[in-house]
Structure 1
Amino acid sequence: MHPVVEELARVLPVIGSAGDNVDWGEVSVDWGVGFPGDFRDFTTLFGAGTIDNYIVIGTPVYSASKRGPARLRDLAPTGTGDEISDALPYTGRLIWWGGSTDAADFYWDVIGAEAEAWPVVVRSAEGEFTRFECGMAEFLLRMLGPRKQRPLESPRLYGVPNSRFLHWREDLSTPVTAESPWEYLEELYEMNELEEGLPDGGLVIFDDL
């Protein structure tokens, strides 16, 4: 198990069951690349789903179901795979692996054949790109850590010990009449919003720390 994923398992409780079984050989053929070890281990342990109803993590596996999880996708400099790639400041390949509900997208910068070295690139809703020299698991761990160490800041980020992970199947299986698993976050959101230095409901992306 990747050590950063082990740390995520220690600090990020899961609501219900989680984890996805993936044929990584088949996935590598489909995508033309092998994915980083931290992402593979995260998928096995957590799977596709959401953190705090704010951060979305996708799956590399294609599903025809419209009710399935978000799927990884390409952002290519040719304009294929994504509708707003005109100002792409990268000459290589970016693969989307997650995002946030306030329109930030999380990518890998696919540089070279060594997937373990792929850094994370964040694109804001305004189309600005910020690069972070870490893998996806470390990126998520930093988002759950102390405020000054987070790549992003928003009132919707709660961090340890309040954050939770919800797998997409658990989310779909929750009856409409049942209480939302995120009900407890409302009070935390109000507290975060009142703290000094945060915009009203806004998102701040910091340079790599």
Structure 2
Amino acid sequence: MHESVARLRGIMAPSPLPAAVPPPWDDIESACGVRLPSDYRDFIDNYGNGRIADLHVLYPVSRRSNGQVRLTSLIDNAQGLIADEVFHEDDEDGNPLVGYPAPGGLLQWGGSTGGDMFFWVTEGADPDGWTVLAHLHGPAIWTRYDGTMTDFLIGLVTGEYRYARSVSNPPVARWTMIGDWTHRYGGPPSASLHGGDDRAGVRLSAGAPLPWDRVSVSGGDQDVFGRTGEVVPLIAADGATVRLGGGGLAPGIAYRLFAWARTDADAEADLLEIECDGAIVARGELSDSPTTRMVETRILVAANAPDAVVRIRVRSSKPAVKLPSFYLTINGTLGD
């Protein structure tokens, strides 16, 4: 095992699901026409296909909707980035950026839901000497990291990488496996809930929970799926009540909740609150905008415990409030 992967395993354990089934590396590298870094190969063999919170490491193969396996997914992705003119800027040292397979070109190995992208700089004949170039969406910069992909991940999950909090704040050392060469497990639970209407809005009594009329839920209990092939949803919404399950894998599921609402112009003191099992766990603060309110929190639900019951409420000095629109996003991953 590559030294940096062994070090990462001591910081961030692989999934508690059955050990990942490695992909056929000889076939993959033959199809791609390139030898891939050994730490990347060992990482995939140990961790499978998945993510660290909002950061994902690209898997070297993909399955099309008709079941056909595409071994060249990394190379195909590189060609797509060139076609989309992603490399039209210079790096932090003023050097022009080029995509693989140009000499020293960039080959993507990861990214994040926040728009960050992570690349190998394919300089030199030995892939184990490739360093990392990151495009960080928040500060909108290209920045080089003098180390391997796994060294870079260690810096992210420990917070030692200087831009770690731009990618994940706070840094998270928690891996969620969504599949491997032979299995596709249920993905991490997530949900998007909406309410209100920009034209009419919703009038509520102060302190009343927000009612959700459009709900989209995905993902489920990975433990149940791994044993039975059946996805059991962990998030459910019924009117104004949201239920969050802990699943079957210890220690449970950590959920990040972010709620947003648009208020009337005269609602200067109105605030959003997140209530869990009857107790207020987060209260938003007044923002610069007089017509928007936000609140966020993290809730850990233990494995095999009763569902957590969550409601989003609006507090106001007025007896009733009108909210033109509001939404709630929920993203879960294995807890720590």
User: TM-score, normalization: structure 2?
Assistant: 0.47
Tell me what 1:207 maps to: none
Q: 2: CA distance between counterparts of 1:155 and 1:119?
A: 18
User: TM-score, normalization: structure 1?
Assistant: 0.72
Give the alignment's Cα RMSD to 1 decimal: 3.2
Identity across matched positions, percent: 24
Q: For 1:176, give the aligned amino acid.
A: P
Deviation at 1:117, TM superposition (A): 0.7
Tell me what 1:204 maps to: none
Matches within 5 A, 1:46-61: 46-52=47-53, 54-61=54-61
Q: What are the Cα deviations for residues 15-49 of structure 1, in whole angstroms up to 9, with x where unaligned?
A: 43252411111111222211111100000000221
Does residue 27 of structure 1 match 2:40? no
Q: Which deviates further from its counterpart, 81-90 or 7-16?
A: 81-90
Q: Which deviates further from its counterpart, 27-36 or 136-145?
A: 27-36
Task: Choose which of 77, 87, 90 in structure 1 pairs with 2:89.
Answer: 87
Going by fraction, where is helix more abundant, 1 or 2? Answer: 1
Residues 112, 167 of structure 2: 8 Å contact kept? no
Q: 2: CA distance between counterparts of 1:57 and 1:66?
A: 24
Tell me what 2:173 maps to: 163
Residues 144, 150 of structure 1: 8 Å contact kept? no
Tell me what 2:44 maps to: 43
Does residue 63 of structure 1 match 2:63? yes
Tell me what 1:97 maps to: 109
Tell me what 2:164 maps to: 152
**Higher relative contact order, chain-length normalized (CA < 8 Å, sep 6+):** 1
Aligned residues: 183
Q: 1: CA distance between counterparts of 2:127 and 2:119?
A: 13
Q: What are the ranges of 5 or more consecutive residues in structure 2 without an aligned counterpart?
A: 91-95, 180-184, 188-218, 221-231, 236-244, 247-251, 258-280, 282-295, 299-336
Q: For 2:2, give the aligned amino acid.
A: H
Q: Which deviates further from its counterpart, 123-132 or 96-105?
A: 123-132
Matches within 5 A, 1:184-203: 184=255, 190=297
Q: For 2:233, give the aligned amino acid.
A: V
Residues 144, 157 of structure 1: 8 Å contact kept? no
Matches within 5 A, 1:170-189: 170-172=185-187, 174=220, 175-177=232-234, 179=245, 182-184=253-255
Residues 105, 124 of structure 1: 8 Å contact kept? yes
Q: For 2:136, give the aligned amino acid.
A: S
Highest Rg: 1 or 2?
A: 2
Q: 1: CA distance between counterparts of 2:152 and 2:22?
A: 23
